[in-house]
Amino acid sequence: MADQIGQGLTLRGVQAEVDATIHALGGYWPPLANLARLLEECGELARAVNQTEGHKRVKPGEAPVSASEELGDALYVLLVLANSLGVDAETALSVVLAKVRARASEPLP
């Protein structure tokens, strides 16, 4: 999928591809289950970042965790959750970016 994104695939297109994979695997879980999956993936991402950037080190015999892989997992599950809630992630991100841009252009107090 990374090669496809580089070739002009939009967030909306990625969301559609995630939808296709979920249907191929048997369908969506309920939104609360998808939220739990997202939180689990965020925890795994936190562990990976903490192993490389924080005080938590890899224990002897423990495999190091890849922040890149865990971030990819979290993004995938985030799009699964968006799909299960009927949210267009591209539109949602555009709205947030506009809000942040407006804040960034406001004068500081």
Q: Digits of tens for pLDDT over the chain (109 positions)?
A: 445 555 778 999 999 999 999 999 999 999 999 999 999 999 999 999 998 898 888 888 888 889 999 999 999 999 999 999 999 999 999 999 999 999 999 887 7
Question: What residue ranges define each of the domains in the chain, with the CATH number in brackets?
Answer: 2-105 (1.10.287.1080)
* Of residues 77, 61, 80, the one with CA closest to residue 69: 77
Report the C-alpha gap between 90 and 51 in whole angstroms: 32
> CA torsion angle for 33, 35, 36, 38 (degrees, to 10)?
130
Structure tokens at 75: 């993004």
**Residue 64 per-residue DSSP state:** P
Q: In angstroms, rounded to a whole number, what is the distance separating the alpha carbons of residues 82 and 99? A: 20
